[in-house]
Structure 1
Amino acid sequence: MPELPEVETSRRGIAPHILGKCFSSVIVRQPRLRWPVPSDLPSTLAGLRLGAVERRGKYLLLTTEAGTLLLHLGMSGNLRITTPDQPMLKHDHVDFVFDDGTVLRFNDQRRFGAVLWTDQAVETHPLLASLGPEPLSAAFGGDYLYACSRNRKTAVKSLIMDSHIVVGVGNIYASESLFLARLHPNRAAGDIGLASYQDLSAAIKTVLQRSIDQGGTTLRDFLNAQGKPGYFQQSLSVYGREGQACLCCAEPIQQLKIGQRASYFCGGCQR
C-alpha cells in the first residue's frame, strides 16, 4: 500500500510538470473507485489553473481557485506523467489533461483509490478533518506522543499507526521506527516513558525522511511519477526479514501479529 513516503514521492514527482497549468479536460474511463468519481468533474475542472500540489497524510491535494481535487492511491494506485499519445495500461482509469498536452494519468488496479472534489475549505473535508499531525512537522514530537499515550493499553505500534494520532506511519515504517527506537512493538503505549517517546518520534521522522529521500519503498507495485520503483526496501532493518540475523546483534528477526498486521522486531534489541 502506498504510504506517506510513496505519496510524497508522487507529489514531488508530478508537481514540476503540472503546477501553474490549466486543466483542459478530464477523461474518466472508470468512475467506480472507492467512492464514485463525481460525474461533473470534467466540467468543473475545465479551464481552472492548478495553484498548488500538496499532501495531507496519504491524500494529494491539487488546489485551484475554485476548490481542491483530492487524490488517494488506495492499495495499489499510482500517478504517471505522460502524453495523450502514450498507450494506456489496463487499469488507467482517469486522465487529467492540461493545456500544454501534459497528462496526469491515474492507475489503480484494485480500485480502492479515490478521485474527489470539494469547493469547501479542504481541511474541513470529512476525510481530512480528524487526521492527526504530520509526522515531519513541528507539531509532532515526543511530548505529543507521550500525552496521547497516557492510560492507553493498546500496543505502541497500534498507537503510532492510528491516523487520528499521527498520519502516514504505515506498517513498514512503524516496524522500522520501533526498531530504531529500540521499543518492542507490543509494549503497552501507556507504560512507555517520555524519554522513549522522544526517541520514537525522532526515529519516525528519520525513517520517513530516509524513505522519501530514496523514493519510497519497492513493495508490490508502487511506482513513482516516471513509472519507476522506489528503493527504500533495500534499507529495511526488520520488516520482511523474519528469521534473518538482526543487523545490530545477530539475533533472528521475529514476527508477530498486532492488530491483524505482521509486525517485525528484534527480541535482543527491542524491549
Structure 2
Amino acid sequence: MRRLTGLALRFLAAVLFLLLPAAARAADYAPWVVYYRGSEPARAFFDYRLAVFDADRHPPLAPLLDRDIWLLGYMSLGEMESWRPDFAAVKASGVLLDENPHWPGSYFVDIRNPAWQKRILDTLAPSVWTQGFHGFFLDTLDDPGHLERLDPVRYKGMTAAAAKLVHELRQRFPTAKIMLNRAFELHDAVATDIDFVLGESIRANWSADRNAYVLTPDADYRAYVAKLKAVQQRNPKLTVMTLDYWSPDDPAGIRKIYAAERTAGFLPYVATRALDRIIPEP
C-alpha cells in the first residue's frame, strides 16, 4: 500500500477531528510546548504534537514539517517590541502608544490604526505563514480592552477593532490554526474565528513583588475556568489550553498544576516565565 502524503494525512485527520468529542480532540494536541528561542534543535520537539514558536527566532522548521506536529507562530497584536526588525518603521508610522510599564521595551499600539492593521494582515501574518507555520498564536490582545477601560474616550473602539482584526485574519487565512491568548473580552465576538483559546497564568504565575512563583487564589482560578468554559460552549470545536509558570526545581508543584488544569478539562503546559527552555512534564 502506498504511504499517504503529509498533506493527505492532515486532511484525513481534519475530517476525523470533526467527528470526535471535545475531550478526544484535545488529546490530539498533547503534549504541547511553548518555546521562544532558536537554540534547541528540531529533534527536541519530535515528541510534541503542537509547538508555539516565536516567528522571528525559532528552531529549524523544515525537519518538523513532515512530522505529526502543528506549528504556530507567535504574533503580538496589541504591542510592539523594540527589538523586532521593523520596529523603527512601525514607530515612524505613528501607531505606537505608551511603553508597557510591566514589559520595558514593549509599546502598546493603537490597534484601530489602519497602518497597524495593514502590517498584521499584509506583512506579518504572511511572513509567518510562508515560513511553514500552520497557524498563528495571537498575543497581547488583552491590551485594547485594558486601554479602553482606562480611558473610554481616548481609546473608544479599541476592543471592537481587536475583534475585527482577528476576524479579518481568519478570512485571509481560512485554513490556518489560530490560538488566542486570554483576551476574555473578545471571546463572544471571535469564538468561531479561533481553534484554540489559551488561559495563560490562570493557575500559577511569577510574582515580581514576591520574587517567586505563586498560585492564583482559588476564587480567581474558578472565575478563569468559568470564562474558558463559556467560550468553549459558544464554539464546541475549541480546544482550551493553559500555560502556567512554575519552578522546574519543584516537580511536585508542577504535577499539581497539571492535575488541576486537567481536572478542569484543559490541556496544560507548565514552563518558566522566560519560555526559553523546554520543561517536560515530570
Q: TM-score, normalised by structure 1?
A: 0.29
Larger radius of gyration: 1
More helix by share: 2
Q: TM-score, normalised by structure 2?
A: 0.28
For CA contacts below 8 A with separation 6 or more, give which structure has more relative contact order: 1
